[in-house]
Amino acid sequence: MKLSGFRAAHLVQSILDADPGRKQAVADIRNLLVAICPRRKYAVVDHVLHRFVLYVMDLAASEKNHHARPYGLIDHSLEVVKLSLEDAQALGWPPSWVYGVFVAALLHDIGKTTDVAVRAPEGAVWNPFVEPLAAFYVRYRLAPGDLAQIHYRAGRGLDGHVRIAPYFYSAILPVEAREYLGQVLSALLLRQSPMLEDLVHRVDGVSASRDRARKPPSRGPVV
């Protein structure tokens, strides 16, 4: 069974609509990217968000530290995007760098896909360098939200996911997004934007601290 375009779109929408806070975060993110015209926003904002959701699906943001629940990585990443965009706008950053903040914040933890082993009953293990997690789930008829099929790798370390994140940019960013980034993309990939990295890192900590303080439930789609 393959993940068709229609099925993928329906799956993404069901995940984003399943939690009011998640749905509101997406709306806030779209509104904060005011410099992008509505006609182009689908290709460089919505499409990127959808591809990210399909890639990470129900993964937690961490095993025990924060957002340690199904869909926690999505919720944490969306919050980091929103807060980072608010800060970048307040600082008066130019539109190209504000969009760079959107990309860097959304993908700051994408490398955590390599921290886990997602196994199908048949013994197959998801390879995040090959396909989105959604495609693996569909092929093996796995239900999202079942933590029993997700295992954290021993010895994964604390910052390996940061170094490996750029390897996933081409998988998440469509051509339109890479074109829109222009030279900012090179700065992100080569880690030559310390102010941006510092902003996202600080907001990352804020999001983690907030979650540890509130521990809210997080819901996925009904499947």
CB neighbours of 3 closer than 8 A, spacing ≥ 6?
Answer: 11, 54, 132, 134, 135, 138
CB 73 within 8 A of CB 59: yes
The CB density around residue 217, as the number of other CB atoms within 10 Å, is 7
CB 82 within 8 A of CB 139: no
Structure-token match 């005011």, residue found: 34
Residue 146's pLDDT is: 72
CB neighbours of 203 closer than 8 A, spacing ≥ 6?
Answer: 80, 83, 84, 87, 105
Structure-token match 């993928």, residue found: 8
Classify residue 142 by its DSSP letter: P
* CA distance linking residue 108 with residue 81, whole number of Å: 9
Classify residue 121 by its DSSP letter: T
Residue 163's pLDDT is: 82
Per-residue pLDDT of the chain (223 residues; tens, 9 = 90+): 566 676 888 999 999 999 999 999 999 999 999 999 999 999 999 999 999 999 999 999 887 878 888 999 999 999 999 999 999 999 999 999 999 999 999 999 999 999 999 999 888 999 999 999 999 999 999 888 776 678 888 876 667 677 889 999 999 999 999 999 999 999 999 989 999 999 999 999 999 999 989 865 444 553 3
CB neighbours of 156 closer than 8 A, spacing ≥ 6?
Answer: 114, 115
Q: What residue type is 211 in one-letter code? A: D
Kindly give the interhelix angle for 72-90 and 47-56, rounded to the nearest 10 degrees.
150
* CA distance linking residue 67 with residue 33, whole number of Å: 25
Is 5-214 CATH 1.20.1050.10? no
